[in-house]
Every structure is written in structure tokens, then in C-alpha cells.
């Protein structure tokens, strides 16, 4: 389930939620980001899991960080379907 009480957040807020164990995503994504092993892990729609430090497209990744419409994910089933 996506957090419906305050649906969108700037990355700053979403980042702290992620540090506290929540998963975050952008509205158009079928994947999510999570804080794992002291880094952000990007869980992609195709099943890949990529350490943010190993992104192939830095500009695209940072344009996502600059977004102000991050969602807090409570139910991964809703993200991947």
C-alpha cells in the first residue's frame, strides 16, 4: 500500500523514511529504493538490484533524487503489479 495520508514527499523526507526502514518510489515506477547494507539499493522492475553508486546513468538517477513526488511504500505487492 502506498502512504495515502501524505502521498508525495520531497526526497529529503523520503530519504529519512528510507533510513527508518521504509521503501520509497516515484509514481511511475514498478520498482523501489531501499536502504540496505549502508547504501541505497535500487530494486528495478526487471528484478535487478543495483547499488546506487553503480548506476549507469548518473544524470537520470540524480534527476530522480531531485523529484518532489516520492511515495512511501508499505506493500511491495502494490508496487510490482
Q: What SS3 string covers the chain?
A: CECCCCCCECHHHHHHHHHCCCEEECCCCCCEEEEECCEEEEECCCCCEEEHHHCCCHHHHHHHHCCCCEEEECCHHHHHC
The pLDDT assigned to 80 comes to 56
Which candidate, 5, 28, 30, places its Cα nearest to that of 17? 5
Contact 68, 74 (CB under 8 A): no
1: in domain: no
Confidence band, pLDDT 50/70/90 cuts, at residue 74: confident
For range 18-37, the mean pLDDT: 96
17: in domain: yes
Q: What is the tally of structural domains in the chain?
A: 1
Confidence band, pLDDT 50/70/90 cuts, at residue 81: low
60: in domain: yes
55: in domain: yes
Structural domain containing residue 54: 11-80
23: in domain: yes
2: in domain: no
Residue 60 has pLDDT above 90, yes or no: yes
Amino acid at each position: 500500500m502506498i502512504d495515502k495520508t501524505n502521498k508525495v514527499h520531497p526526497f529529503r523526507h523520503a530519504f529519512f523514511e528510507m533510513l527508518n526502514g521504509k521503501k520509497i518510489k516515484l509514481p511511475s515506477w514498478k520498482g523501489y529504493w531501499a536502504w540496505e547494507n549502508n547504501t541505497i539499493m535500487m530494486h528495478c522492475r526487471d528484478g535487478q538490484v543495483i547499488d546506487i553508486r553503480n548506476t549507469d546513468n548518473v544524470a537520470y538517477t540524480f534527476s530522480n533524487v531531485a523529484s518532489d513526488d516520492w511515495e512511501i511504500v508499505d506493500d511491495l505487492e502494490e508496487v510490482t503489479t
